[in-house]
Amino acid sequence: MSHTFQPLTQEQAESIAFEWRYEGEYAFYNMDADEEDLASFLDADERGDTTFAILNDELIGFVTLQFESVDAVSIGLGMRPDLTGSGKGHRFLTSILNWIEATYGTRTVRLAVATFNKRAIRLYESLGFIPQDTFMQETNGGVYPFLSMTREQSEPPNN
- The answer to whether position 158 is within a domain reads no
Mean pLDDT of 3-9: 96
pLDDT tens by residue, 29-74:
999 999 999 999 999 999 999 999 999 989 999 999 999 988 999 9
Q: Containing domain of residue 62, as a range?
A: 4-152
- The answer to whether 22 and 81 are in contact (CB under 8 A) is yes
pLDDT tens by residue, 94-147:
999 999 999 998 889 999 999 999 999 999 999 999 999 999 999 998 899 999
- The answer to whether position 94 is within a domain reads yes
Q: Does 23 score more than 80 pLDDT?
A: yes
Q: Residue 29 sits in a domain of what CATH number? A: 3.40.630.30
- The answer to whether position 157 is within a domain reads no
d(CA 100, CA 96): 6
Distances (CA, A) of 100 to 15, 30, 144: 24, 25, 28
Number of domains in the chain: 1
- Nearest residue to 106 via CA among 149, 153, 62, 148: 153
- The answer to whether position 80 is within a domain reads yes
Q: Does 157 score more than 60 pLDDT?
A: no
- Residue 155 confidence (pLDDT): 54
- The answer to whether position 159 is within a domain reads no
